[in-house]
Structure 1
């Protein structure tokens, strides 16, 4: 959870932007004092504003720029710097590299442990940006889809360029050969991705 000693809160910023009214501001501060919940948590729980407005206001409090990130804004090569599952677990997306400074879209831009890890692993200075959780999830899922597509394309290319050699032992196809076949790898990739995204059905149309 984000922490700060700044006097101005995210609720104050939202009020200044006229995204909440005076009654809502008072209710937020009252709950904060009487329950011990952070201002940020109270605002989230009450659902007064959209996630984008909340993130932008929080960025203003911590002097961290807000970004509405899309997959098209992400430099694909940067996704190779950190494993995709790590980015998903800690909710960040590296999207731009300039002059050895790595721009990082994050849910929690004050997560110093994650920032330090990325700086040590990549050797670049991290410049944090704040965005929404939904944005992070969407961009990472699209990136995973791109990777899957590239792997399937490579496997299909292998099928068209080479003749699949089937080894037989005693007239039977070996399990190892079946597992290594390009088409078997394609099916495995599709099933693996379906499990990760929680798909209940898989539909493959003729010609796909």
Structure 2
């Protein structure tokens, strides 16, 4: 198989996008006054404009994703995302959660990849080099990708839970409990929860312990969502 050159190359996009905020205003999706508020906040915080618009409730994540896809002439997938095992084998679950991406399908030469940020050229280039395939991006919302990741890699989470150490708080001393909390399966499970929260764009994580299980919920756009 002919592998892409290791020389750094940007994954080509169809066109250079016009300014996101202006395109949303011209499409009637965003009010001019809301754009000015978001731009002022962006200048002070350095955050991405789309993130600010969603956080303030001026537009939803689907509107942002559709606009970016249209500007870049990329396909948009509103979900649910369908994956193939061959593609999943090319990208580890931890990386998918951390970068908010999901491999959908693959050929010997290409990898079709759902992305929440199609302008993240560093991630696209990293995957081009690591997989030896050209990347075909498909735009989806962060929440759609997070749901797809959960469905595609759910066996991985089950394995993490199965390997957790068993402790009885009424009989174990503090040293034993600390050692159990530092065990590799516990660390990996915590990493999994944090990476999933990042992929969702969650502002906080709620852990609710019950007798036989723990309920994990994530606050996204001021709404608690069950894991």
Q: TM-score normalised to the size of structure 1?
A: 0.61
**RMSD between aligned alpha carbons?**
3.5
- Describe the SS at the equivalent of 2:153: helix
> C-alpha separation between the residues in 1 aligned to 2:43 and 2:152?
43
Residue 34 of structure 1 and its aligned partner are, at CA, apart by: 6.2
Consecutive unaligned residues in structure 2, runs of 5 or more: 1-14, 167-184, 194-206, 214-227
Q: Does 1:18 pair with 2:35? A: no
Larger helix share, 1 or 2 = 1
Contact 2:86 2:106 in 1 (8 A): no
Contact 1:9 1:39 in 2 (8 A): no
- Describe the SS at the equivalent of 2:58: coil
Contact 2:21 2:49 in 1 (8 A): yes
> C-alpha separation between the residues in 2 aligned to 1:199 and 1:104?
34
> C-alpha separation between the residues in 1 aligned to 2:105 and 2:165?
29
- Describe the SS at the equivalent of 2:136: strand
In structure 1, the residue matched to 2:87 is: 78
Q: Does 1:111 pair with 2:86? A: no
Of 134, 147, 154, 1:138 maps to 147
Count of aligned residue pairs for this structure pair: 163
In structure 2, the residue matched to 1:92 is: 101
Mark the structure with the bigger radius of gyration: 1
Contact 1:75 1:95 in 2 (8 A): yes
Q: TM-score normalised to the size of structure 2?
A: 0.57
Residue 200 of structure 1 and its aligned partner are, at CA, apart by: 3.3
> C-alpha separation between the residues in 2 aligned to 1:144 and 1:187?
15
> C-alpha separation between the residues in 2 aligned to 1:81 and 1:116?
14
In structure 1, the residue matched to 2:163 is: 188
Deviation digits for residues 40-94 of structure 1 (CA, Å, limit 9, x no counterpart): 34423432111111111122333333222324x1112211112111211222111
Contact 2:17 2:72 in 1 (8 A): no
Q: Does 1:65 pair with 2:75? A: yes
In structure 1, the residue matched to 2:10 is: none
Residue 32 of structure 1 and its aligned partner are, at CA, apart by: 6.2
Contact 2:18 2:71 in 1 (8 A): yes
- Describe the SS at the equivalent of 2:209: coil
